[in-house]
Amino acid sequence: MRAGNETTRETAVADGGDDDAPAFEAARYPDGSITYPSHPVGPGGEAPVETVDLSEYTAEVVTWTTSTATPPGVREPNHVAIVEFDVDGEPVRAIGQATTGDLERGDEVEPVYCDQLRDPEAGIREPASQEWDGFRFRPVE
């Protein structure tokens, strides 16, 4: 289930991201398993051998929820989804913000880059020390 990389980058710009969006990296291990986020040691006990850019794939919504009591600087309501990518037959799950609360289990979504998932001014640390970019999941139309 691939979503063309060029299309994903264009839609990231439309959702407030930029055209220099980073990769949405997962790690592949010698036994073929893939994890997100990556870990220094995989399920088989070995180090990763390569990375996989999940922004090149679409995923299926496993479940989702809406939080109305969010941390400072996080949008309210905050829609969050657990999604599953199929990367060459290997399932990879990720959790993250959704662009909408209008989701159902089984919906197809694509990751879109967002340069600010949280307002850095709202935290207790220096804003310059915070990086709040990442990916949201948007329904595929």
Which sequence spans correspond to the domains of the chain?
Answer: 5-139
**Confidence (pTM):** 0.80
Q: Write out pLDDT tens, residues 79-136.
A: 999 999 999 999 999 999 999 999 999 999 999 999 888 887 777 777 777 778 899 9
Say if CB 95 and CB 64 are below 8 A apart.
no
Burial class from Cβ neighbours inside 10 Å (0-12, 13-18, 19+) for residue 38 reads middle
Q: In this structure, what token pair is assigned to residue 89?
A: 């037959």
Condensed to tens digits (0 to 9), the pLDDT of residues 60-69 reads 999 999 999 9
